[in-house]
Amino acid sequence: MVTVGELQRDARRRLAEAGVETAALDARLIVQHELGLTHETLIAEPGLQVDQTGRDAVNASIARRLDHEPVSRIIGEREFFGRAFAVTRDVLDPRPDTETLIEQVLEIARLKDHLRIADIGTGSGAIIATLLAELGTALGTAVDVSGAALDVARLNATALAVEDRLEFVQTSWLEGVRGPYDVIVSNPPYIETSMIKSLSPEVARYDPILALDGGADGLAAYRAIVPQAFERLEPSGFLCLEVGARQATMVHELMTEHGFLDSGPIPTLRYDLAGHVRVVTGQKP
């Protein structure tokens, strides 16, 4: 028998020695998950004895983490904007940077109640389910070309009790979706195809290719979404797009070419915590 404290320290050491930057956090989340313990119990009772079954389960998950599998995929859950979301192999692991998109829409929501919001490429549903949970009178449409991703989004919407205000549509971008909407959001695939293999193994091997691949220059999804969104927005409606590094100017130009204006009282460019432009917003005249 080992104690939970010893097991956690050993897991942390092995991850740190392998160069995992978040070794302490990952070790804690894996130990908690595999042993069914809360964070509070881990802190308060480091002397708890762990049997061989528990020890094997922790070690198996640590081996997966050492093979670069993200901890959210091992434990099947990721926290986003303070809520837990189920994550499977069919969906992108929601990123903290995407919370910038949530902040942008919450600012728009101060201008108008009862927003009708479409989320294109919803994946786990992290964006639209969070928005509906934050905005009690909003209605949403969650779109994805992947039926498996929509199943995960449905599960997460139900867990957050927002599924009765949300419709799910399996289609490419907004084909066949009529709207109209007050706000359209998307965190589309935006990685240049040739760059995907050089991403960290956590991303390249575990995020679905459909969630990453933005075509030769990374902008294919934006070219499809911008004109379709323009047609489906109400006058004065907003399109808010997450962008990758060095894409903001091109996406902003694309919006302008298709008739969008800068977003008036709402910042056109919104920065993430690292100081990069993360969201570009345009307003339909």
Chain residues that interact with ligand SAM, rule: CB under 6 A: 91-92, 94, 98, 120-124, 126-127, 143-146, 149, 172-173, 187-189, 210-211
Residue 13 and residue 46: Cα distance in Å, rounded?
Answer: 16
- Measured from the CB atom, the residue of 31 and 211 that comes closer to ligand SAM is 211
Q: Which is nearer to ligand SAM, 54 or 188 (CB)?
A: 188
Tell me which residue has tokens 């969070």. 130
Q: How far is CA 79 from CA 75, 171, 218, 256, 269, in A?
A: 11, 27, 27, 35, 25
Least distance from C-beta 186 to ligand SAM, angstroms? Answer: 7
Asked if 184 and 229 count as a contact pair (C-beta separation under 8 A), the reply is yes
Of the pair 111, 245, the CB lying nearest ligand SAM is at: 245
Of residues 188, 191, 187, the one with CA closest to residue 245: 191
- Which sign does the torsion angle of CA 197, 220, 187, 150 carry? negative
Q: Nearer Cβ to ligand SAM, position 14 or 223?
A: 223
CB 122 within 8 A of CB 144: yes
For residues 7 and 143, which CB has a smaller minimum distance to ligand SAM in the complex? 143
Q: For ligand SAM, which is the closer residue by CB, 133 or 149?
A: 149
Q: How far is the CB of 224 from ligand SAM (least distance, A)?
A: 7
User: 128 with 140: CB under 8 angstroms?
Assistant: yes
Least distance (Å) between residue 41 CB and ligand SAM: 30
CB of 265 to ligand SAM, least distance (A): 25
Shortest reach from residue 96's CB to ligand SAM, in Å: 11
In contact, 280 and 241? CB cutoff 8 Å:
yes
Nearest distance from C-beta of residue 217 to ligand SAM, angstroms: 16
Closest to 133 (Cα-Cα) out of 73, 78, 95, 80: 80
Q: Closest separation between CB of residue 40 and ligand SAM, Å?
A: 29
Which residues fall within 8 angstroms of residue 136, CB to CB, at 6 or more apart?
none
Q: Which is nearer to ligand SAM, 13 or 89 (CB)?
A: 89
> Nearest Cα to 81, choosing from 98, 69, 60, 58?
98
The end-to-end CA distance of the chain, in Å, is: 68
